[in-house]
Amino acid sequence: MKKNILLILSLSWGTLLPAKTIRVGKNLTITSVQYAINIAFEGDTIRVTSGRYLEKNILIDKKLFLIGENYPILDGEGKYEIISIKASGVLVEGFKIINSGESSIEDFAGIKIYQSRDVVIRNNILENTFFGIYTQYGTNCTIEKNTLTAHNLKEEQSGNGIHCWKSDSMRIIANTVSGHRDGIYFEFVTNSVIWRNTSFKNLRYGLHFMFSDNDAYITNIFQNNGAGVAVMFSKRVKMFHNYFEENWGDAAYGLLLKEIADSYIENNRFTKNTMGIYMEGASRLLMQKNVFESNGWALKIQASCMDVQLTHNNFIGNTFDVATNGSLVLNNFDNNYWDQYDGYDLNKDHVGDIPYRPISMYSMIIEQNPSAMFLFRSFMTSLMDKTEKVIPTLTPENLKDNFPLMKALPL
């Protein structure tokens, strides 16, 4: 028995033994990262000391651990893709990656993963890259604690921060992305999680989701992006505990939902957006325990949505609580707190005795004729709203909260 253990130990020692550490540095014998990669074997570690490396494209084609000490700079000189990963199990950690190439034909990236599994990209600083970290056909990769900053001013000259295409089981954790086209971009990505990221001041969306099913994004902060966050054509998406803040502009939404089904939106905060949530063609959603605060429109729900269950949310200080574009309502709005509710609670069960209609006539008028914003908060429109509340004509009859809460929920 003892012999066997020894045998196993010595065998595993034998496989581990060749794994060595190669040091790269300006004052060391090996001065080129690419050269170190070429002479390394599977499983080796390459440690790069600080300095500025002009290496054109660095291609990693075997399982290596590439670790930077004190953030060595890999400079793409505005012409090249900086790191290309074409092997599984690679680790890239601790680099400062700057100035990737820019192209309208090729998607140059700071770090690009090609058809690999179990790649870890951790603790890197990416500056002025076209695409930041790009994955195509990646599986089970981790992109963690990276900081990505770009400075382009035009959408068409700018790539996405973290871009995943046709990938599966990805973990995007605690990254900070700003100044890109889309902060985080998912297309055909499944079973993945986006957790604790901060995405702000991106030109288009903070997070852009397309055709990506079974994903979750949790506790992220999306702030001040050109158009907020867009989740489109996806199923079974879970959105929990995120912050959507200060997305201002005519086409800016805290959260844009288009053709979404079977999803959960819970415990999020929507603060100071022109539109908190805009949804179109959404079905079978459960939205609960969200807070909508100081938005222009808290919720724009188009008549194409069905089976949206909106319950136990707080609506506080929004200019318009709900707007819609038709009279068909197939959604449920019960049991929310609306600060604009002026009903009463005679039996003291903390539920208002008369239904609340969150949609005002004026918000319907604005929907049809945006120029009517001119009359915003005028005597005229408040008169119209009051009469409409008594006898609804233009606003959808069924869009109402039958059990409005009298007190805000502690969220």
Partner 1 sequence: MNKIIKYVIIDILRNKIMLAYTVFLLLISVSIFNLEDNSAKGLLSLLNIILIIIPLVSILFSAIYIYNSAEFLELLVSQPLTRKRIWLSVFAGLAISLMISFLIGAGLPILIYEPTAIGVMMTISGVFLSVIFAAIALLAAVNTRDKAKGIGIAILLWLYFSLLFDGLVLFVLFQFADYPLEKIMIGFTALNPIDLSRILILLKMDLSAMMGYTGAVFKSVFGTNIGTIISLLVLSLWMFIPAWLSLRKFNRKDL
Q: Which residues bind to partner 1, rule: CB under 8 A?
A: 248-250, 252, 272-274, 294-297, 316-317, 319-320, 339, 365-366, 368-383
Q: Pick the closer one to partner 1 by CB: 78 or 249.
A: 249
Q: How far is the CB of 248 from partner 1 (least distance, A)?
A: 4
User: Cα(225)–Cα(232) distance, rounded to whole angstroms?
Assistant: 17
Q: How far is the CB of 333 from partner 1 (least distance, A)?
A: 20
Q: Where are the alpha helices (DSSP H) in 303-391?
A: 361-368, 379-390
Angle at 145 between CA 143 and CA 147, to 5 degrees: 100
Q: Pick the closer one to partner 1 by CB: 101 or 228.
A: 228
Q: How far is the CB of 407 from partner 1 (least distance, A)?
A: 12
Q: Pick the closer one to partner 1 by CB: 179 or 276.
A: 276
Residues in a beta bridge with 155: none
Q: How far is the CB of 375 from partner 1 (least distance, A)?
A: 5
Q: How far is the CB of 297 from partner 1 (least distance, A)?
A: 7
For residue 38 the two structure tokens come to 């070429």
User: Cα(72)–Cα(361) distance, rounded to whole angstroms?
Assistant: 60
Q: Pick the closer one to partner 1 by CB: 296 or 392.
A: 296
Q: Which residues of 43-61 are buried (b: 16+ CB within 10 A; e: fewer)?
A: ebebbbeeeebebebbbbe
Q: Pick the closer one to partner 1 by CB: 13 or 379.
A: 379
For residue 380, which amino acid is it? M
Q: Locate tokens 């539109």: which residue?
A: 275
User: Cα(326)–Cα(328) distance, rounded to whole angstroms?
Assistant: 6
For residue 314, which amino acid is it? N
Q: How far is the CB of 111 from partner 1 (least distance, A)?
A: 36
The separation between CA 9 and the C-alpha centre of its own chain, rounded to angstroms, equals 46
Q: How far is CA 327 from CA 1, 46, 55, 261, 389, in A?
A: 79, 64, 62, 22, 16
Q: Pick the closer one to partner 1 by CB: 59 or 372.
A: 372
